[in-house]
Amino acid sequence: MGDFVVGGILLVLLGAALTYIFRAKKKGVKCIGCPAAGNCKSCHKDH
C-alpha cells in the first residue's frame, strides 16, 4: 500500500514538472529554472 502512495506522489510531482517545462517553453523562456528570469550567463553561450 505504501508503494502505491509513494508512486502516486512521484507521478504527481513528475506531471507538475513536465507541465511547468511545457508552459515555459510555450512562452519562449530560454532558461527554464533560471533564478535570473532567463538572463543566465549560460543562456548566452553560443553552442
Express each pLDDT in 26-35 by its tens digit: 888 777 766 6
pLDDT score, position 24: 85
42/5: higher pLDDT: 5
CA distances from 41 to 12, 27, 32, 44 (A): 32, 20, 13, 6
Three-state DSSP class for residue 19:
helix
* Cα–Cα–Cα angle for 12, 31, 25, rounded to 5 degrees: 60
Torsion over CA: 37, 45, 41, 33 (sign): positive
Q: Compute the average pLDDT of residues 7-28.
A: 92
The predicted pLDDT at position 46 comes to 47
Bigger pLDDT: 44 vs 10: 10
